[in-house]
Each structure stands twice: as C-alpha cells, then as structure tokens.
Chains A and B, each alone.
Chain A
Amino acid sequence: MSWEMMAVFIGSTIRLAAPLLLSATGELVSQRAGVLNMSLEGMMLTGAFAGALASWYTGNPLIGLLFGTLAALPVALLQAFFSITLKANQIVTGIGINILALGATTLAYREIFGSRSSEAIPGLSKWSPPVLRDIPLWGDQVFDQVWLLYLGGLIILLTALVMHRTALGLALHACGAEPRAVDKSGLSVARLRYLAVLFSGLMAGLAGCFISIGDIHTFTEGMTSGAGYLAIAAIIFGNWKLGRMVLACLLFGAAAALKFFLPAIGIQVPNALLIMLPYVLALIAVAGLIGRQTAPGSLAQPYSRS
C-alpha cells in the first residue's frame, strides 16, 4: 500500500464522515435535551434538496447553502411541535416525517427538475488551510476539502464549548437527564427542547447540503440513503458523548471509504459487511456489551409537570 493511497483513504474517510459529523452533532444536542429526533434523515434530505434547488436556480452555491439550511428548520419545527407540545411518540413522528420528506422531495424534484435531472449543480468550493496545504500528498488528498467541512469542525468545537462551559449547555443537559429539576429551577423545559431540536434541524440542513452541493454536486432521489439513521447509530455507539461520537462518525466514514479502498488494494470484503458494520456496532453498544450505556435519563419522554 502506497502513501498516496493512504492519503486518499484518509481524505475520503473525512469526506464521507462529514455529513455524519454535522448531523450527529445537532442530533446529540437534541438527544441530550431529551428529544430522540428520528426525523434526522428527513431533515437532511430536505436540506439536500432545497440546497441543490436554490444553488441550481440562482447559480450561487452559497445561496443554496443558506436556503438548504433554512429549509430543514420547518421540518425540525414539525418534529418539535409533535414531540414537545403535543407530546406524541417521538419515534412514530420521526418515521412519519421521514416518509413525508422522502415523498415530498422526490415529488418536487421530478416536478422541478424533470428531464434535466442529470444536470450538474453549482457546488461549494474546496479549501485547504494554509501551511497544511503545502504538505506533499496530504495537502491535496487529505486537507483539500469542501470548506463547509472546516466550518463544521468549528461548529463542533463551539458546540462542545457551549455544552460543557455555559449555562445554556448545562440547562440542555439537565433537560434530558432530569427535566423536573430544570422546571423547578425556573427555566422552561419546552423552550430549551425546542431550541435543541431546531439546532439539530440547522445542522441536518448543513449535512444535507454537504451531500448535495458539497460532495456530489447534484441531487438524486433519497440521496441521503440512511445517513440520518447512521448518525443516530454514531451517537449510540459514542455513548452520547461528543468526543466519542466524533470518533464513531470517523469510524463509520472509514468503513464507507473502505468500500472503495479495499478492492483497489486487492482485498475482497463484501461491501454489505462494511455498510452493516456501523449498525452492528451500535446494536452491540446499545445491548450494553461494551461498557455501561448512559443514555440521557429522559430520552424520548415528553415532560409534563404533574
């Protein structure tokens, strides 16, 4: 195996992990606050579609990014309204939203793009940090990434800062662990949870845009193909800790990159096994086979005072 292939592998691992990282970060905040937001897949798909549409229509991928990110918000609002205000079953709501989003984006795509479906869409440009870009081989293969990825890294750091160092992070954390204590301290559980779900919507929108106008430069029906569920699996495997979740996303990204990489170096491993791996790992984790699982205490439980 050459150094070059290694660099290519690492580069594509990061690229494939990026949408997971973005969406899982938002989802983690939402789950930390107690809302199991299963509509992640639907929100990503909506973001991917809206981003592609706006970018294609205006020819400006930045406007696409803005539009795609904002388009996921109403979907997040729907999830929040059902699971926080109506106190509906969060999983059922999520599945409903995912089916709806798949149908709606496919329908709209056929209507709007129609026969022009294979047309390339203006995408986000690539960027690599100074100094790092001068490293031979790595500069091109590893660090030359869509700039949204670097923005995502920044957001993840900011999220970690907010979650661990600020009053807001503390309150969000307490919302998922012991909402009664939050209520008694005078804060609004509902408001905090809405905020968390909306943040997950924003991040899912970014993740969707990364897939459509960042990575592939086009939109195809159902193009997120389960990335939302994969992000949830990464959170479970990462035991609801941000750092471990990031590692889980990179691991899942590597598994996806191996699909292309292993045949290139002459190793035959069934693709299906690599795709399946993240779900198997998440299942093993949730079954308590690797250490104690510490899911937020009130995850997926609506809060009411009485």
Chain B
Amino acid sequence: MEHSASAMHQSQQHAAKAGQPWLQLESIGKRFGSFQALQDVALQIRPGEIQCLLGENGAGKSTLCNLIFGVHEPTAGQMLLDGGVYQPQGPADAFAQGIAMVHQHFSLVSDLSVVDNLLLGQAHGFLRRGAMADRVARLAEQYGLQLDPHALISTLSVGERQRVEIVKCLMREPRLLVLDEPTAVLLPDEIDALLRVCRRVAAQGCSVLLVTHKLAEIKQVADRVTVLRGGRIVAHSEHPADELDALVQAMIQHAPDSPARPAAAASRSPRLQDEVLQVDGLGVTDVQGVTRLDNFTLVLNRGEIIGVAGVEGNGQSELASVLSGMSSPSRGRFFINGEELSGASPQAVTRAGVGVVPEDRHATGCITDLSLAENIFLNRLHEFQRWGCLDRAAMRAAASELMRRFDVRAASVDSRFGGLSGGNQQKAVLARELTLRNLTCLIASQPTRGLDVGAVQAVYGHIRAARDQGVGVLLISSELDELLTVADRIVVLYRGRIMGSCPAQPDQRARIGAMMAGQTP
C-alpha cells in the first residue's frame, strides 16, 4: 500500500514526515514461551508525527509498545535510537531516552490530589505544591489539557484521570509519547479532546504512537498507520485518510488457515420460531456514570446462534454479566422463555436453563484449586447429596461420563482443575453448562480465547451441536472469523449500542468491520 506521492493535504505534518526517523525497530520478534507474539516487525518513528498502530485484540500492539517502553525485551531484531543501539532494561531507561507511555491501566493514587500524584517520586524534601500547580496550569494551556490541579483523583472521570497520566508523561518532556488504546475507556467528546491534545503534542515536535482500533480516530489524526495482525505487520499507509477501506480489510482479513464454514450451517435459518431469550432495552451505567451498554434489544430464537461482534470494551462484558445474573441492569429487562430474569441471581438464571460460558474463565468460570469433577458439577453439586453427604463416587462416575462425551483430557476426574490445559478447562466448562437438564439458552463469551486450534474446533462443535438440539446461543466474541464461522446472524456492538446486524456471511466482512469501527452501515 505504499503510495509514492499524493496531494499535500496536511501541510503542517508534512514537514515532520520528511524528517528522518529517530527511532527504528528492525525485524523485531518477541516470543513468550511457545507463543510468538511478534515476528519480523519493522517500525520507524519520525519526529513530530502521529503514527497509529492498528489491529484487533491479540494482534501484538501492547507487546510492541511494551518493547519500546522497556517493559519487555525483544527476542529477535534490534532497536535503534538516533542511529545507536537502544536496549532499555526497564521503563526508567526508556524515560531517560525521552520515551513516555500512558498505559491502559492507570497507576494513580485515588485519595491524593492531582498535584500530589504528579509529585510522587519526583519531589524531595518539602513539597512545593504551588509550583507544581503552576506547572500543571502551564502544561494545560500549552496542550489544551483541562485539569484542576487540586482535585482528588477519586473525584475525576476516567478521561480526566487519563489527562493526569498524560501530564505525568509530558512533564518529562518526552520525544515520544506512547498511548496504549487510550480511547477505549473514553466518552466521545473526551476522545475528541484527547485527539486534539495529540495534535498539539506532535506540533511541539514530540512523536506520538497511538494504539487504536478505531478508524474514525485514524482519519482524524494519523499521519501514518501501521497495521498489525497476528504479530506481523500486514499493512502500512503513509496516507491513511485515503486508504481506510484497505486498512480495515488488512485488519480483519480472513486468515488463510481459519476453518471452513460447514455448508449445512451456512444455509440454515431458524426452523422453530419460539423465542428463548428476549432482551428489551437493556442498559448499564457504571459507578462513574458512564453508559457501558445502551438500549440493547434482541430476540434469540430456538436453534439459532446470534453472534455479538465488536471490539472489546464496547459493552460485551456488561451484556454477558447482566444476562448471567452477575449484575443488575440499570435499565431495561430480559426474559428467558417468557420469564423475567432482569436482576435475578445467577442461581435463578441457571435454574431457568441458561448455560453461561464466562469471558474470564479463571475469575468466574471455574475454581482452579478444586478437582475436575467438582468443577464439572459446580453449579449442581446438590444433585449428588445423599443422607446429607456428597456422593463422591456417583459424582466421579458422572464426571467421567461427561469427560468422555466432551473429550476433556485429564489424568483423572480428581485432577486439579488448574493443572489442565486451557482447552480442556474450557471443554469442562462447556460440559457443565451444556448439560443443564433444562438447557434452553447458552450465553458464551469469548469461548475460544487462548485455546489451540484443535480445542477451538471442539468448542465450535459443541456450540453447533447445542444449536442443532434447539438451544438458542448468544455468542459474544471479538474474533470476527469465529462469528462468521459459527453464528447464523451477527449484531455489532459499538460503544454499548447495536450498530446494526446482518447475516453471518463472509461477504459481510467489510460491512461488519466498518460497524465495529464505529461507522454506520
């Protein structure tokens, strides 16, 4: 996609673009154990540019940032800074070289003021809060960062907290500011404000590396865009505003080795029209008053798989949490087989025949220190009660049976659950949730995350089999390929709202991608 020359539509940045890159990454690779996070990555940072790093979750964006910031060391390739070798041993080295980074997770002390947070680790002896407040005010003016220097962090919105983190970086007068998915947590007007700040930072000569997966932002600020997928650079554009479509394609392109879609499933349409799950105007507002899920309405029929697509953090977790009874909706209702369950306990949801595969298996889906058998029956241990005691023999026998049916591989049913591979753990969770006696509906969140190819296929098989037996499945995933392979219909979430829906056909890929990036269809 490297075009030679094009119209000089953004004169100001062009001077910067012409500058020589001062930070260069040459065929960088990073391996975590057996997992190749990055491979053969080349990247140049030029003075005063805004470069966007685009890619889906797990594409390796954060890993790349952490390499530059010295959190990790590359396992292959080298980094050059001003022509010399750059081998940061930690964030301190990166800071010393003028590289600052704003992480996704802030490290602020919430019961201290903005000024105190900025002084932490920087000051000695008596605190000069007044001087710091003046400095904050100057920075605020210079970059357009609105901030009350004396406010307690706990009273600030997420956007304001992020501004504190940015100020923290800017006080070190960096040459490169790395922002790791800064807009994922922000409201629309906060995003605009942040992008304006980026512009002004770049205008002062500092380079900005902005990690994002939102095309609108790229259009607004990016001088150049690099697209990562599966740890490799798959596209690069010097004129991103003109090449958005091509960038989307590169970001979500169909991986050649992804499993073929079974023909039978492609043509199927819901045979039975009875509704198992009705969701009516569901909304979730978090403690900070930010709307995470907004007016989510959907009808799921028997024998149907609806995929919920969307870049992570667009309301999927809140949706799954409410539907599984783990939290109450702020607005709206939902029904299983006509029975209202809004705000009901997880127990009631399970009793109504809803199987749940939670997004975070280790936090919610299992108890790693219990045995495989205990985990397989975690939600119905009471069925094995006999004279007040648990009939462990019966439980083991029943667990062995499910192990066989769901192909869970472990030394025995008594094995510690945490010792199983991720794939076998997930199969065990499916074994538990899909064998609820009155199963009518399955809510599965990111069910194949972290699994190897074989396990992924097995999970797809089980979900399809459940569908074929008449179960309605809500499949929440950030993997578009997964949804296109398994689902019958796809709805796209963006900032907590349904952007649109379409049949799960491969030719819809571009359209879905655009909706995921926040463009109306």
Contacts and interface: CB of A to CB of B under 8 A. Distances in A.
A and B touch in the complex (CB under 8 A): yes
Interface of A: 165-167, 170-171, 173-174, 177-178, 180-182, 184-187, 294, 297
11 contacts: A165-B126, A166-B125, A167-B123, A167-B125, A170-B123, A171-B120, A180-B107, A182-B120, A184-B121, A186-B92, A294-B111
A19 B306 CA distance: 68
B91 A184 contact: yes
Contacts of A297: 110-111
Interface in B206-233: none
A177 B112 contact: yes
Given A173-B109, A177-B110, A177-B111, A182 B125 contact: no
B119 interface: yes
A187 B107 CA distance: 13
B304 interface: no
A170 B125 contact: no
Contacts of A165: 126-127
Given A170-B116, A182-B120, A185-B122, 18 more contacts: A165-B127, A166-B127, A167-B124, A167-B127, A170-B112, A170-B119, A170-B127, A173-B109, A174-B112, A177-B109, A181-B109, A181-B117, A184-B91, A184-B121, A185-B120, A186-B92, A186-B121, A297-B111
B108 interface: yes
Nearest to B108: A181
B113 to A, nearest CB: 10
Nearest to A161: B126
Contacts of A170: 112, 116, 119-120, 123, 127
Interface in B118-150: 119-127
Q: Can you list the 5 inter-chain pairs with the closest CB atoms, starting with the nearest?
A: A185-B121, A167-B123, A181-B107, A178-B109, A174-B109
A174 to B, nearest CB: 5
Contacts of B126: 165-167
B171 to A, nearest CB: 12
A275 B502 CA distance: 72
Interface in B73-100: 91-92
Contacts of A171: 120-121
Interface of B: 91-92, 107-112, 116-117, 119-127
A261 B112 CA distance: 43
Contacts of A167: 119, 123-127
Contacts of B122: 185
B374 to A, nearest CB: 26
Contacts of A187: 120-121
Contact of A178 (B107, B121, B124, B127): B107
A247 to B, nearest CB: 21
A100 B54 CA distance: 61
Nearest to A177: B109
A182 B121 CA distance: 7
Contacts of B91: 184
Contacts of B120: 170-171, 174, 181-182, 185, 187
A177 B92 CA distance: 23
- The listed residue with most B CB atoms (<10 A of its CB), out of A165, A166, A173, A185, is A185
Contacts of B117: 181
A258 to B, nearest CB: 35
Nearest to B91: A184
A58 B92 CA distance: 53
A253 B371 CA distance: 54
Nearest to B90: A186
A166 B112 CA distance: 14
Contacts of A294: 111
A171 B117 CA distance: 10
A165 B119 CA distance: 11
A185 B111 CA distance: 17
A183 to B, nearest CB: 8
Nearest to B123: A167
A173 B110 CA distance: 11
A166 B121 CA distance: 11
Contacts of B111: 177, 294, 297
A287 to B, nearest CB: 21
B115 to A, nearest CB: 10
A173 B465 CA distance: 56
Contacts of A185: 120-122
- The listed residue with most B CB atoms (<10 A of its CB), out of A165, A167, A171, A184, is A167
A154 to B, nearest CB: 18
B478 to A, nearest CB: 25
A178 B108 contact: yes
A171 to B, nearest CB: 6
A181 B112 CA distance: 12
A59 to B, nearest CB: 41
B288 to A, nearest CB: 17
A180 B121 CA distance: 12
B136 to A, nearest CB: 16
B32 to A, nearest CB: 14
Contacts of B109: 173-174, 177-178, 181
- The listed residue with most B CB atoms (<10 A of its CB), out of A170, A173, A182, is A170
Given A165-B126, A165-B127, A178 B119 contact: no
A166 to B, nearest CB: 5
A49 B166 CA distance: 54
Contacts of A186: 92, 121
Nearest to B117: A181
A184 B125 CA distance: 20
A203 to B, nearest CB: 22
B42 to A, nearest CB: 29
A185 B91 CA distance: 10
B107 A184 contact: yes
A181 B121 CA distance: 9
Nearest to B105: A180
A171 B112 CA distance: 11
A181 B126 CA distance: 20
Contacts of A184: 91, 107, 121
B122 to A, nearest CB: 7
A185 B95 CA distance: 11
A185 B108 CA distance: 10
A186 to B, nearest CB: 5
A51 B60 CA distance: 62
A169 to B, nearest CB: 8
Contacts of B116: 170
A180 to B, nearest CB: 5
Contacts of B119: 167, 170
A297 B123 CA distance: 23
Nearest to A166: B126
Contacts of A181: 107-109, 117, 120
